[in-house]
């Protein structure tokens, strides 16, 4: 049940997240230009109802349709939700945000089923006609269903929820919602809760009263701030303590609440702190009649206060401070007593990263096919260029599996060049479709990062199964192939060990935090100064990051150019830029940024050494903070 609820919540969240910018625009227009806004303007304020009534539901429904039915599902969702909007009277009725989350995926499912049924039965020459008319006709039918059924039904649901909230307010029980809100946030259901439930209820209340407390329940940055401050002062783990101040800034001023979720996941008892903190702040907001004019997206203190009515500004600030103080006081002793006895921050970040990837809809929806260990002889780790991420992933997994399955060959390549004899292909989720086309015969394993992903643990467990079939299946030919591969790898290592691809001038330590793009460009410029690449390679590194992240997990990123940029490489080189406080790669933080430029396989030996360093947690943590260049070079020799 827990997994089902979590999966459902993540799906709802995945419809909202790509459209957060539209919610921000609507919120700003509301806060600035309505009659009691900061700079009232009747003309500009007239934009707001159209955005709430039409733009936001259409965007959500289209996104939901695309998640299920692809591009055709996107169009179906947009068409269908218009029926819901019209069914409740357009701008005169309730906002159809909740209805959009229902009818969008439903419309996408309908067109997907139609396309599946037409597979192999499409009349030649009629493809465009059938495709266009199917979307038009089916979209019209779903819109009619939305008009008569889904729209009115969801209005009834919203009415019941609003009445329930009124009862909670009347009896002083609204603060108890924090018991459900804070754990749900850590499970990455915050956007589904805020935009899917609180925003529709809040918009109805704000239309009548000019503000709504519903906008404050999830977006308050105080509870999370208290947790992060407690880690700043009382964390015993050096890495955690150093990363917390940067997380405070990102959370409080940037509004990215997800940054504090790993700090709770690594020590679940800490969740008590934000729950009690939010209970106290909601109680205070209720007593003082506080509310926001529009949703605070993102949940930064800047956005939170910008949506606050002028006459409630002081009370709102006090409420945030109450949440922060209570959360801090409760979290501090928990952290002091349990820090170091629970999971590591890097593990929690990896867990949260996977959850977020799923919430964004980046996971490949497929049933995991059990792997027969006897059938696996070659595993390929593939990334876009086959230069860095996959090389490190392959090295780490090869070292992990070699003692129990020496017959398995583990190599890396670019995603478009996976060999035909590959049995298992390991790729990041964003590259899954390309991997399917490149190696349709291979079993596909999709991961969030190449170093510490649960899917790799599952694969390891399957391959290490002690079955008689797995023990005896190796033939002389396969053994010879494995030996030949080992000899080639050893020869490559002997050859590359003679090539010095990193030196003191290629290492920069104790750098102050910058944006992800600036960190990538800094590594690229260092490669240029080392004479490894042309200037154009730096732009290719940024382009490569836009394809799929080069964050590897465990505080490590290895930005490099695209496969098309190999002509810009003059010689093999690797540089290291250290950021002790971390650089945000999405919701993860990288303290070690290795810039890579490789000719052939000349850089693989050093990547192997980096992987060996990662196996020793003490070495890894010291590498993130040390100011001794010679010590780092020694670890990579």
Using one digit for the tens of pLDDT, what is the confidence trace for 269-300? 999 999 999 999 999 999 999 999 988 877 88
Joined together, the tokens standing for residue 507 give 């290492």
Catalytic positions, written as ranges: 383, 560
Task: Determine which of 90-99, 121-130, 302-311, 474-483 has the lowest per-residue pLDDT on average.
Answer: 474-483
Task: Determine which of 3-17, 151-165, 223-237, 348-362 has the lowest per-residue pLDDT on average.
Answer: 348-362
Domain 373-496 carries which CATH code? 3.40.50.2300
Q: Answer for the pair 445, 433: CB distance below 8 angstroms, yes or no.
A: no
318's CB contacts (< 8 A; 6+ apart) are 284
Joined together, the tokens standing for residue 612 give 């060996």
Report the candidate in 190, 242, 195, 197 with the shortest Cα–Cα distance to residue 221: 190
Report the candidate in 293, 279, 286, 285 with the shortest Cα–Cα distance to residue 212: 293
Kind plus residue range of the DSSP H or E element containing 383: strand 378-383
pLDDT tens for each residue of 30-68: 888 888 888 999 999 999 899 989 999 999 999 999 988
pLDDT tens for each residue of 399-456: 888 888 888 999 888 887 888 889 999 988 778 888 888 888 888 888 877 776 778 8
Question: Please, what CATH class does the domain formed by 504-635 belong to?
Answer: alpha beta
* DSSP assignment of 583-626: EEETTEEEEEEEEEE-STTTTHHHHHHHHHHHHSHHHHHHHHH-
Check residue 352 and give its pLDDT: 57
CA distance 569 to 538: 11
Average pLDDT over residues 467-478: 44
Kind plus residue range of the DSSP H or E element containing 139: helix 127-145
Tell me the H-state helices in 256-406: 261-265, 272-288, 301-306, 313-338, 345-359, 389-401
Q: How confident is the model at residue 475 (pLDDT cuts 50, 70, 90)?
A: very low
Q: How far is CA 456 from CA 176, 394, 433, 461, in A?
A: 40, 11, 19, 9
The edge-to-edge listing of strands for the beta sheet with 424-428 is: 409-414, 378-383, 424-428, 443-447
Same fold across 373-496 and 504-635: no
Domain locations in the chain as residue ranges: 46-171, 173-361, 373-496, 504-635
CA distance 485 to 493: 12
Long-range CB pairs of 537-542, under 8 A, 24+ apart, other chains included: 537/561, 537/565, 537/568, 537/569, 537/597, 540/564, 540/565, 540/568, 541/565, 541/595, 542/517
pTM above 0.85, yes or no: no
3-state secondary structure of 280: helix
Average pLDDT over residues 182-202: 78
CA distance 498 to 505: 18
CA distance 39 to 115: 51
Average pLDDT over residues 610-630: 82
CA distance 214 to 596: 48
Q: Answer for the pair 100, 84: CB distance below 8 angstroms, yes or no.
A: yes
CA distance 275 to 181: 8
Q: How confident is the model at residue 206 (pLDDT cuts 50, 70, 90)?
A: confident
CA distance 495 to 244: 43
CA distance 281 to 174: 11
Joined together, the tokens standing for residue 416 give 């478009």
Per-residue pLDDT for 577 more than 90?
Answer: yes
Measured distance between the N- and C-terminal CA atoms of the chain, rounded to whole angstroms: 50
Per-residue pLDDT for 259 more than 70?
Answer: yes
Q: How confident is the model at residue 18 (pLDDT cuts 50, 70, 90)?
A: confident
pLDDT tens for each residue of 112-166: 999 888 877 877 778 788 889 999 999 999 999 999 999 899 888 888 888 888 8
pLDDT over 90, % of the chain: 32
Q: How confident is the model at residue 387 (pLDDT cuts 50, 70, 90)?
A: low
């Amino acid at each position: 049940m827990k997994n089902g609820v979590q999966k459902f919540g993540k799906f709802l969240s995945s419809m909202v997240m790509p459209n957060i910018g539209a919610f921000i625009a609507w919120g700003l227009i509301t806060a600035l230009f309505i009659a009691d806004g900061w700079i009232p303007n009747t003309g500009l304020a007239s934009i707001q109802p159209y955005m709430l009534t039409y733009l936001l539901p259409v965007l959500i429904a289209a996104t939901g349709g695309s998640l299920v039915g692809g591009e055709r599902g996107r169009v179906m969702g947009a068409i269908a939700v218009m029926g819901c909007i019209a069914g409740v009277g357009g701008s005169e009725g309730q906002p159809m945000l909740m209805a959009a989350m229902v009818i969008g995926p439903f419309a996408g499912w309908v067109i997907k089923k139609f396309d599946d049924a037409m597979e192999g039965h499409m009349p030649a020459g009629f493809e465009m006609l059938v495709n266009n008319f199917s979307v038009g006709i089916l979209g019209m039918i779903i819109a009619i269903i939305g008009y008569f059924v889904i729209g009115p039904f969801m209005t009834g649901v919203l009415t019941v929820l609003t009445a329930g909230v009124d009862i909670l307010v009347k009896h002083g029980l609204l603060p108890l919602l924090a018991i459900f809100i804070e754990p749900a946030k850590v499970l990455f259901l915050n956007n589904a809760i805020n935009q899917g439930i609180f925003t529709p209820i809040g918009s109805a209340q704000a239309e009548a009263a000019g503000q709504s407390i519903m906008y404050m329940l999830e977006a308050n940055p105080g509870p999370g701030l208290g947790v992060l401050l407690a880690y700043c002062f009382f964390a015993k783990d050096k890495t955690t303590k150093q990363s917390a101040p940067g997380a405070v800034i990102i959370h409080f001023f940037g509004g990215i609440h997800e940054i504090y979720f790993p700090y709770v996941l690594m020590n679940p008892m800490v969740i008590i702190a934000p729950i009690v903190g939010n209970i106290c702040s909601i109680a205070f907001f209720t007593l003082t009649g506080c509310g926001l004019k529009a949703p605070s997206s993102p949940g930064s203190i800047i956005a939170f206060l910008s949506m606050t009515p002028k006459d409630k500004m002081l009370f709102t600030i006090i409420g945030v401070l109450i949440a922060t103080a209570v959360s801090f006081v409760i979290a501090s002793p928990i952290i002091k007593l349990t820090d170091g006895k629970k999971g590591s921050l890097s593990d929690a970040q990896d867990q949260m990263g996977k959850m977020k990837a799923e919430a964004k809809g980046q996971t490949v929806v497929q049933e995991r096919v059990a792997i027969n260990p006897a059938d696996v002889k070659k595993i390929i780790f593939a990334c876009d260029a086959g230069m860095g991420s996959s090389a490190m992933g392959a090295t780490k997994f090869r070292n992990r599996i070699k003692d129990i399955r020496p017959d398995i060959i583990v190599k890396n390549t670019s995603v478009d060049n996976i060999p035909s004899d590959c049995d298992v292909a390991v790729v990041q989720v964003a590259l899954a479709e390309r991997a399917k086309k490149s190696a349709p015969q291979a079993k596909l394993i999709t991961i969030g990062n190449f170093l510490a992903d649960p899917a790799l643990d599952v694969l390891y467990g399957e391959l290490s199964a002690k079955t008689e079939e797995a023990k005896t299946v190796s033939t002389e030919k396969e053994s010879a192939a494995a030996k030949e591969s080992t000899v080639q790898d050893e020869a490559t290592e002997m050859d590359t060990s003679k090539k010095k691809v990193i030196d003191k001038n290629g290492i920069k330590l104790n750098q102050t935090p910058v944006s992800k793009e600036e960190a990538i460009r800094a590594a690229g410029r260092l490669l240029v100064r080392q004479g490894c690449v042309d200037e154009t390679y730096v732009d290719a590194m940024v382009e490569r990051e836009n394809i799929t992240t080069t964050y590897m997990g465990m505080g490590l990123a290895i930005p490099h150019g695209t496969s098309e940029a190999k002509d810009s490489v003059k010689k093999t080189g690797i540089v290291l830029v250290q950021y002790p406080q971390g650089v945000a790669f999405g919701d993860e933080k990288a303290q070690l940024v290795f810039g890579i430029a490789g000719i052939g396989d000349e850089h693989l030996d050093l990547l192997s050494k980096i992987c060996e360093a990662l196996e020793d947690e003490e070495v890894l943590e010291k590498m993130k903070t040390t100011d001794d260049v010679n010590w780092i070079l020694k670890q990579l020799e």
